[in-house]
Structure 1
Amino acid sequence: MSSPRPPARRSGWVIGRVVGAPIILAPSWLIAAVLLTLIFAPTVRARSENLGALVYVVALAFVVLLFASVLVHELAHGLMARARGQQPREFVLTLWGGHTAFGGVTPTPASSALIAVVGPLANLVLAAGFFAIAQGVDATSLVGLLIWSGCLTNAFVGLFNLIPGLPLDGGFLLEAAVWAATKNRHTGTVAAGWVGRVVAVGVFAWALLVPWSQGRPPELYDMVWGGLIGAFLWSGASAAVRGGRTQKAVGLITAASVGRRAVGVEHTVSIAHAGALAAAAGAEEVVILSPDGRPAAYVDRAAAASVPADVAGTTPVTAVAVPLPGGAVVDARLTGQELVGAVGRATEHSPVAAAVVDGRVVGLIRAMDVVAAIRS
Structure 2
Amino acid sequence: MSSPRPSSPRTKGWVVGHVVGAPIILAPSWLVAALVLTLVFAPSVRARSGESGPAVYLVALAFVVLLFGSVLVHELAHGLMARARGQQPHEFVLTLWGGHTSFGGAAPTPATSALVAAVGPLANLILAGGFLAAAQVVDPWSIGGLLLFSGAISNGFVAVFNLIPGLPLDGGRVLEAAVWAVTKNRHTGTVAAGWSGRVVAVLLFAWALVWPLVQGTQPDLVNVVWTVFIAAFLWAGATASVRSGRTQRAVHGLTVQAVASPAVGVPYTDSVAHAGATAAAVGAHEVVLLSPDGRPAAYVDRAAAAAVPADVAGSTPVTSVAVTLPFGAVVDGSLAGGPLIAALSEATRTSPVVAAMVDGRVVGLIRAADVIAAIRT
| TM-score band w.r.t. shorter chain | over 0.9
Query: Is the 1:24–1:91 contact (alpha carbons within 8 Å) kept by the matching residues of 2?
Result: yes
- Distance of 2:106 and 2:189 partners within structure 1: 19
- Distance of 1:54 and 1:65 partners within structure 2: 16
- Distance of 2:215 and 2:144 partners within structure 1: 33
- Distance of 1:213 and 1:301 partners within structure 2: 66
Q: Which residue of 1 aligns with 2:134?
A: 133
4+ long deviations beyond 6 Å: none
- Distance of 1:234 and 1:350 partners within structure 2: 38
- Distance of 2:51 and 2:59 partners within structure 1: 13
Q: Which residue of 2 aligns with 1:32?
A: 33
Following superposition, the deviation at residue 112 of structure 1 comes to 0.7
Cα deviation code 1:136-191 (max 9, x no counterpart): 11111100111111111111111110010111100000010001101111111111
CA RMSD of aligned residues (A): 1.5
Q: How does 1:63-78 map to 2 (within 5 A)?
A: 63-78=64-79
Cα deviation code 1:32-65 (max 9, x no counterpart): 1111101111111113334421110110000000
- Between 103-112 and 230-239, report the one with greater CA deviation: 103-112
Q: Which residue of 2 aligns with 1:111?
A: 112
Following superposition, the deviation at residue 9 of structure 1 comes to 2.1
User: Between the two proteins, what is the percent identity of the paired residues?
Assistant: 70
TM-score, structure 1 as length reference: 0.96
Q: Which amino acid aligns with 2:116?
A: I
Q: How does 1:1-376 map to 2 (within 5 A)?
A: 1-104=2-105, 106-208=107-209, 211=212, 216-376=217-377
Following superposition, the deviation at residue 218 of structure 1 comes to 1.7
- Distance of 1:189 and 1:251 partners within structure 2: 14
Look up the SS of the partner of 1:348 in the other structure.
coil
- Distance of 1:48 and 1:104 partners within structure 2: 47
Look up the SS of the partner of 2:299 in the other structure.
strand
Look up the SS of the partner of 2:167 in the other structure.
coil
Cα deviation code 1:70-109 (max 9, x no counterpart): 1111111122222222222221111110111112365211
- Distance of 1:198 and 1:36 partners within structure 2: 27
Query: Is the 1:354–1:361 contact (alpha carbons within 8 Å) kept by the matching residues of 2?
Result: yes
Tell me: CA distance 1:313–1:3, structure 2 relative to 1, closer, same or farther (3 Å): farther
- Gaps spanning 5+ residues in structure 1: where? none
Query: Is the 1:85–1:104 contact (alpha carbons within 8 Å) kept by the matching residues of 2?
Result: no
Following superposition, the deviation at residue 2 of structure 1 comes to 3.3
- Distance of 1:104 and 1:85 partners within structure 2: 10
Q: Which amino acid aligns with 2:98?
A: G
- Distance of 2:287 and 2:214 partners within structure 1: 72
Q: Which amino acid aligns with 1:358?
A: D
- Distance of 1:184 and 1:152 partners within structure 2: 37
- Distance of 1:298 and 1:157 partners within structure 2: 59
